[in-house]
Structure 1
């Protein structure tokens, strides 16, 4: 695996950990810690999405000759994650632990499915076809 892909996979794991930490805060519930964990989750997701949407996806689309393939699906899923995260933020502000937990459950499932597709389909395609992948993503981590 290229080091660039390892960076993206590590970002996925960082997002997973931030989400786990947020869920743990709800069991107390400790709203101050939950707000901090939520902020870490937002930053982790934005960092990963930026690396993919601003660097990886355009490079893949250029060599593929199309923006309507797997990267279009990944962008749509990123938008779904952003919407769920926005909903979760509202539930957090309202301090509704049950609604927030339900939103996070949906987010967990979506992110798991999304990351599997990226890691097992898109990333290998990028590794095979995008030139200078490591240089492209050098500052993504």
Structure 2
């Protein structure tokens, strides 16, 4: 549960920052929206790096598979990265309609992505990597 709990908490932290960005855009405060979105984007990309550089390689080594769930998660990370750029551009141009269009797509993708990670992949990591869990969480915290 140690890996699951740590990673789930990071998902929640990212969600909160994005909700603040959405609220700021809704209020027409694009300066504040940019600040919250930047926080969300940085935290989300750091989270992806922790998964792609620490957690996923450990899981892949333990399961001897790079074509399973981690492959799918990495593909979804790339989709999210593209949407982050679209949203950033919409904020820069103060385009509320474009922001919410891309934000809706991002939220659907992230909700599905996070659910797969939290209900399946992280549980698998807790199981397969139980002897390394504390070490991996510490490595991710300092990453």
User: In which range does the TM-score fall when normalised by the shorter chain?
Assistant: over 0.9
Partner of 1:12: 11
What secondary structure does 2:138 align onto?
A: coil
Unaligned runs of 5+ in 1: none
Partner of 2:136: 136
Structure 2 residue 120 is the aligned partner of structure 1 residue 126: no
Shift of 1:84: 0.4
Once residues 35 and 109 of structure 1 are traced to their aligned partners in structure 2, the CA distance between those partners, rounded to angstroms, is: 21
Shift of 1:140: 2.5
Unaligned runs of 5+ in 2: none
Deviations 1:35-87 (A, max 9, x none): 10111011110121111111100000001111110000000000000000011
Partner of 2:23: 24
User: CA-atom RMSD, angstroms?
Assistant: 1.0
Partner of 2:67: 68
Shift of 1:139: 4.0
What secondary structure does 1:68 align onto?
A: coil
Kept in 2, the 8 Å contact 1:11–1:48? The answer is yes
Query: Which residues of 2 match residues 1-141 of structure 1 at below 5 A?
Result: 1-2=1-2, 4-130=3-129, 131-141=131-141
Between 124-133 and 53-62, the greater mean CA deviation after superposition:
124-133
The TM-score, its normalising length taken from structure 2, stands at 0.94
Once residues 68 and 7 of structure 1 are traced to their aligned partners in structure 2, the CA distance between those partners, rounded to angstroms, is: 24
The TM-score, its normalising length taken from structure 1, stands at 0.95
